[in-house]
A and B are shown apart, each in its own frame.
Chain A
């Protein structure tokens, strides 16, 4: 079966994004085993290829791989969201020039609609061009997947990432039907966007093991056995685009919520932007509460119309960290408006404003700021979380800092604070040094 070629959607994402951002400003980390930790719980959230080769898994707590530190010179850093956020904004803005329709899906990935931008033959060269541009401008390695639907674009990206012979760009349209079938048969059904481990296991029991099996499945049967969402996935795999751009997939709990929109008419006044920002935050906060999360960061971004280069151009973004993770619209709006006021400049015609909520915690289990008064119920929740983590990962995985009950853990906290890299792109005092000696 030959996949249709009328539509072309690209998914571009950064390879080991956090690690790559760190390496741009600290080239001595190149070719080293390096992991980045989440800022609170000490779990690994990004790994260099060298670290992956050591068998280090995603989400593993640092202490589990401590033994590799001296033996394999494994290095680690706390996550520097200020840096990653700015590099992400630069990457997205650079990619926005390749298509009039862009959907930022997460901090390091975006969809671009290329349907009316390039021909089928141009897909691979265009993908290579985007990749080279990001590498040159920002020093970040990326992979590009192109397909007739978002699900196939995601899958193409996965293939590009895992198979070096494609040099970072994979497009379904560049393959013969036999080759397409071959690759669909190579990948386990669990890798498909929106198919989690649970559904994957179910499907396997039904004899659907590879992506090819799922593609060949009867979508009506799948709808009855699973859901409309899964039936839609089957159609997407057949190359029938069902998930529109900017349509947020709902099946997985997201790690980032973005709410933004382009203005029909350019907007100049601050109060217009304030209004829009507040309403986007409300919408995003609603989604946040729906999935029972709270967030640690609120990002606001604004930009002028990049397709009108003759007009003065401006774009900026700022991330406001919250002392206590929250899903309270009022708190989030306050933070977002504070951010907006920092980056707003008069005398530009703004095309777009948006907000990003990120660094989520479970609403029921999130840990409070250590310096904030904790009420009884919250305290109870914190304890519950600690117990859960300690049960799961071993005693003393988590302890309360400052209690002095566990010297090892306290040291751990202190070490962590020292392991954050500088804000190389957003703070004058912390820009990189160029030696002239």
Chain B
């Protein structure tokens, strides 16, 4: 995990109450919502990649966005995935139908990549979330 990650986890109350007055809320202490946990940041199988290009705009993935990739899940048809094409990482939507697999762009300007028999497709990981700066 990158050391720059700050856990967004804070307790609602500090543990010592010095004056001896029990807090009326002490039975209700709960953890504040943790974005890292929500995004699966502490998982050993989570990796980050940076998007370059506009072929996935239709899926809400823009140039410069941050991809959170979870390698612990099996890729299914319809998932947005990071795949290896010609030795490079590419982000596309995985489509499987009737034994045919192709990588679909979400931008009409880019044709889908169809895999022929014998052609191997390596899905590197499934994109679980996208971090986009508006």
Residues of A that sit less than 8 Å from B by CB? 26-30, 86, 90-91, 93-94, 136-139, 312-316, 318, 342-343, 345, 347-348, 424-428, 431-437
Contact = CB atoms under 8 A, between A and B. Distances in A.
Contacts of A424: 47
B82 to A, nearest CB: 5
B2 A30 contact: no
A28 B88 contact: yes
Contacts of B53: 435-437
Contact of B2 (A428, A433, A434, A435): A428
B34 A435 contact: no
14 contacts: A27-B87, A94-B45, A136-B72, A312-B37, A315-B1, A345-B9, A347-B7, A348-B7, A428-B2, A432-B50, A434-B49, A434-B51, A436-B54, A437-B55
A342 B2 CA distance: 10
A312 B31 contact: yes
A278 B60 CA distance: 48
Contacts of A136: 45, 71-72
A437 B4 contact: no
Contact of B42 (A139, A313, A427): A313
Given A436-B52, A437-B55, A314 B7 contact: yes
Bin the interface of chain B by size: 35 or more
Q: 4 closest A-B pairs (Cβ-Cβ)?
A: A28-B87, A437-B53, A436-B53, A137-B45
A27 B89 contact: yes
Nearest to B48: A431
Given A315-B1, A318-B3, A437-B53, A138 B44 contact: yes
A94 B11 CA distance: 28
Contacts, number: 110
A138 B71 contact: yes
Interface of B: 1-4, 6-7, 9-11, 31, 34, 37, 42, 44-45, 47-56, 61, 63, 66-67, 71-72, 82, 84, 86-92, 105, 110, 122, 124
Contacts of A434: 49-52, 67, 82, 89-91
Given A138-B45, A436-B54, 13 more contacts: A137-B45, A138-B44, A315-B1, A347-B9, A425-B47, A428-B4, A428-B48, A432-B47, A432-B50, A433-B51, A436-B91, A437-B55, A437-B110
Contact of A435 (B7, B42, B66, B89): B89
Contact of B124 (A93, A139, A348, A437): A139
Contacts of A427: 2
Contact of B89 (A313, A425, A433): A433
Nearest to B81: A434
Contacts of A318: 3
A318 B87 CA distance: 30
B117 to A, nearest CB: 21
A295 to B, nearest CB: 20
Contacts of A437: 52-55, 110
